[in-house]
């Protein structure tokens, strides 16, 4: 898919203008495409896209699954409590009322 980042490792540091529109997670059950909202959540999108590019999420598990509702993953410890961002340990949430969690 054009303008997307796969959940695989890659070398080098991308320019700040690098803003893939989608993330694609490959699972044993098929692909999941994630749309990135750079205008609403630039720090969150950069963190997710860069960690994908680095291969950070490779072989991680979904640690929380609620059937027909949601999944959570991306924690290398598999507990939902571990992991770091590209900015250090934490950064501010970028929550916007006009975005739907679907």
Structural domain contains residue 61: yes
As given in the structure block, the two tokens for residue 40 are 């609403």
Report the chain's terminal Cα–Cα distance, integer Å. Answer: 20
Average pLDDT of 20-46? 91
Structural domain contains residue 101: no
Average pLDDT, the chain: 82
**Is pLDDT of 7 > 70?**
no
Strand pairing partners for 33?
24
Structural domain contains residue 88: no
pTM, rounded to two decimals: 0.78
Average pLDDT of 60-89? 85
- Report CA Rg, the chain: 14
Structural domain contains residue 11: yes
Structural domain contains residue 78: no
Structural domain contains residue 15: yes
Name the domain count of the chain.
1
Residues of the domain holding 25 = 4-73
Structural domain contains residue 98: no
């Amino acid at each position: 898919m054009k303008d997307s980042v796969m959940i695989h490792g890659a070398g080098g540091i991308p320019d700040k203008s690098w803003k893939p529109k989608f993330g694609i997670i490959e699972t044993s059950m098929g692909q999941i495409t994630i749309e990135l909202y750079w205008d609403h959540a630039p720090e969150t999108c950069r963190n997710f896209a860069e960690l994908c590019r680095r291969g950070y999420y490779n072989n991680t598990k979904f640690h929380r699954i609620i059937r027909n509702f949601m999944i959570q993953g991306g924690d290398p410890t598999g507990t939902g409590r571990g992991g770091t961002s590209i900015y250090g340990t934490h950064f501010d949430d970028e929550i916007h009322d006009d975005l739907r969690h679907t």
